[in-house]
Structure 1
């Protein structure tokens, strides 16, 4: 038996044993439902209040001037009420004029401080077993992830340092090209650079997840083939259903699954040709991904938050401003529109994960399959890459 197989079997046995311990978890964890004991992982999300505007109003996802993150009681209560077990949170530089390395190190320190400030609510995830521990303790596990590897610069040793600091997911590119490869909006679709191949090798050596979200098709396929470990596309849709660059082709999805990886479906406007997304669109993309990848390789990566938007009109105005700023900065993507929401209108707030599970069950998917999609597939993938 391979070591990873042993890690996985032990981990899944531990996860199965976690359910009785939930009786001691805080009452606010989740509403009683069929899914209250399920492990739920958002492979790309965040703990934020969408009703509070960003500090600069740009919406660029830029790691700019830093300030201490303060999580409100509402955000923490909503996360626990949702039943979410772990979230891959975007840390560090994504785009903009900030110095990528400096801003990223600062952001990691801020997240460490945020977790230290909320020890009863949050847990830092550095191995797969931490996800199970978060479930048992009634906490939300935070996975440190990047949505751009620009902060590596030309220094591979930085990957070792980020691993030591607890980063566990590294997305190779954002939408434009970087020193590693082309993103989904880079017109040349050139694939991995020679340095990019070295980056993938060093990520493998550190047992970090290689995330191919936002990558161009050639970069995605080449990185998936180059990686010695399973890879992931943590937040995407299916291009066979909606032909937009941020969605992945069946060839990309199938290769990631064939390599033992993971595909997370988002709740983003790219799931519908007009950008107005509903829960039915999310279900359709999940079902297509399951058809292409198999039920053991598909999960969720909402690319959203849990706390509900209170004023949709004000939110639409903020989105319009953000879309304009992203376009001006050259980081926008086809399918982003000024007059749409960035989430499925009927899958939002603390009930979103259980609501989606109910929809899938109503479509005829078994409880076991739904639980895989909610989080067990990511847990299996994490055990394979990080170890148990």
Structure 2
């Protein structure tokens, strides 16, 4: 097995969930960047995992905070994290920054949103976000917003008129248009409207598990045909029971490759590298957290109190190397595995971020 694959997580979390600060925030419905712990274990685990770069979530996703001001403050928080750890972290502004992170054995931090609400009614804010270093903006979370419908919005109404303006402004600023969490029509319409390739940075395949957070073959194929990127997540939605296993992730990757081709599929785990040590304690808190998400209308079908929001046998510092081993066992050659683990995302970044 090659140990020098470039590993790029198209959506992940950098945090030590066992640290006292992170544990204290674990019960909150909305966790902010201030709630994260970037400590020695976080950084050591990221390096040990082989991680080259990760798209982290910052800014407003849901909750009562004022979206725009909250998002600006979150960018400041992450700028401080990066500045405080210059030997380990680097802020990614270009695809070459990811290449440099790999060369220098640092972890590239890609700033991304999981909801575009902070744009407000002013698309010119998108250029400001780009200036501040944001390189990925997801249009919606699970619910509808003024840009389009999320995957749990019952109307499946697609992209709004303002949403078309947002997509155009994102392309003008060369920010990735991420269609994770979007409703089917929002995804299809945004993909067709975009002047640049778009992405679905963390998803599964609905042909295998029929849940709203997973994408249909039509969505996957259209994104790939237009030069985009699809990242498969390590989430309960890859198994109909919710008790997902590593083999399920491999099945979704294989299906996505069959639909999209091997040049357009990668990984977006939606999780941490550092494992939760006390799973029994975490399980006790999970029911309350899931109930709060459902009550707030931000949960997704498939989130349940008895299922972890990660794949239990594909976590921790060995998760990427374990996935490589499983892909090898599936018969994938080293070139295909290299593409899936990072090169496809890097090539997509070249297509979108290049001036």
Aligned match of 1:222: 189
1:91 maps to what in 2? 58
**1:1-80 maps to which residues of 2 (within 5 A)?**
34-52=1-19, 53=22, 55-63=24-32, 67=34, 70-80=37-47
- Contact kept, 8 Å, 1:42 with 1:84, in 2: the verdict is yes
1:235–1:266 CA contact under 8 A, matched in 2:
yes
Aligned match of 2:210 in 233, 243, 252? 243
Question: Quick check: 1:145–1:168 contact (8 Å CA) kept in 2?
Answer: yes
> 334, 342, 348: which one pairs with 2:301?
334
Per mean C-alpha deviation after superposition, the further-off stretch among 47-56 and 252-261 is: 47-56
Give 1:156-305 correspondences, 5 Å limit: 156-305=123-272
Query: CA 1:163/1:116 → structure 2, altered by over 3 Å: closer, same or farther?
Result: same
Shift of 1:41: 0.4
Post-superposition Cα deviations, 1:238-281, rounded to whole Å, max 9, x if no partner, equal: 00000000000000000000000000000000000110011100
SS at match of 2:51: coil
SS in 1 for 2:344: helix
Specify the SS of the correspondent of 1:85. Answer: strand
Aligned residue number for residue 154 of structure 1: 121
Q: Which runs of 4+ in 1 moved over 6 A?
A: none
Q: Which residue of 1 aligns with 2:337?
A: 370
> What whole-Å deviation, never above 9, does each CA across 1:356-385 have from its counterpart, x for those lacking one?
011001111000000100000000000000
Give the unaligned 5+ runs of structure 1: 1-33
1:69 Cα deviation from its structure 2 partner: 5.3
Helix, strand or coil at the partner of 1:304: coil
Structure 2 residue matching 1:35: 3-state secondary structure: coil
Residue 60 (structure 1) shift? 3.1
SS of aligned partner of 2:9: strand
Q: How does 1:376-387 map to 2 (within 5 A)?
A: 376-387=343-354
The superposition leaves residues 152-179 of structure 1 with CA deviations (integer Å, 9 ceiling, x where unpaired) of: 0001111010000000000000000001
Q: Following TM superposition, by how much is the alpha carbon of 1:328 offset from its aligned partner in structure 2, in angstroms?
A: 1.0
What is the rounded CA distance, in whole Å, between the counterparts of 2:262 and 2:34 in structure 1?
A: 41
Report the TM-score when normalising by structure 2: 0.97
Aligned mates of 2:179, 2:251 — CA distance in 1: 21
Map residues 349-368 of structure 1 onto 2, 5 A cutoff: 349-368=316-335
Cα distance, 1:54 vs structure 2: 5.3
Matches of 1:37 and 1:295, distance apart in 2:
19
CA distance 1:270–1:68, change in 2 (3 Å): closer
Distance 1:258 1:60 in 2: 37
Shift of residue 59 of structure 1? 4.3
Contact 2:235–2:269 (8 Å) recurs in 1: yes
Per-residue deviation at 1:115?
A: 0.3
Alpha-carbon distance between aligned partners in 1 of 2:64 and 2:80, rounded to the nearest angstrom = 25
The two structures have a TM-score, normalised by structure 1, of 0.89
Aligned positions, number: 353
CA drift at 1:57: 4.1
The answer to whether structure 1 residue 323 and structure 2 residue 290 are counterparts is yes
Matched residues in 1 for 2:195 and 2:185: separation?
A: 18
Structure 2 unmatched runs, 5+ = none
Any idea what the Cα deviations from partners look like across 1:278-298, whole Å, max 9, x if unmatched? Answer: 110000000000000000000
| Preserved contact between residue 25 and residue 31 of structure 2 (Cα < 8 Å) | no
Q: State the Cα distance separating 1:61 from its structure 2 match.
A: 3.7
